[in-house]
Amino acid sequence: MIGDDIEGLSWQEFEEYIRDLLEHHDFEVQFRKVFRSPERGYQIDVVAFRRGLCLCIDGKKYGRGRHRPSSLKEQAKLHYERCLAHERAFGIRSIPVIVSWLDDALMVENGCIFVPIDRLNDFLLNLDAYLSDMGF
């Protein structure tokens, strides 16, 4: 599916596309990872490992809406909390990434890196430079 048109994908297929692209870039991938902390359970869409680096990725396939900016901030906050729980549970630094369906700017919000799906390949190709530039 790498390189295919992604317009018609369901949200499940969108997550699978993200997984496939990470595997294409030689990441070891855990898909729809479920884990528990003493307080509650969590799920992360894609957890990807490569050379001591752990990306915790949440795929967001949503449309443009008038409440979208506040929704992005809230989703970033929730995903950041999931990633902190992942760090505590597994003892590995977990970098929170939200891959969005829409062509937004690459940005950091509430501790999460937002990457538009059409820029994910470039983000992965130049990951070290992006993380350095963004303070990760």
pLDDT digits (tens, 9 = 90+) for 38-87: 889 999 999 999 999 999 999 987 665 545 566 778 889 999 999 999 99
Q: pTM, whole model, 2 decimals? A: 0.88
Tell me what pLDDT residue 64 has: 56
The single-letter code of the amino acid at 101 is W
Which is it for strands 112-116 and 95-100: parallel, antiparallel or unpaired? parallel
Taking a C-beta distance cutoff of 8 angstroms, is the pair 59, 18 a contact? yes
Domains of the chain, each with CATH number or no CATH: 11-133 (3.40.1350.10)
Q: Quick one: average pLDDT of 98-126?
A: 89
Residue that wins the pLDDT comparison between 68 and 21: 21
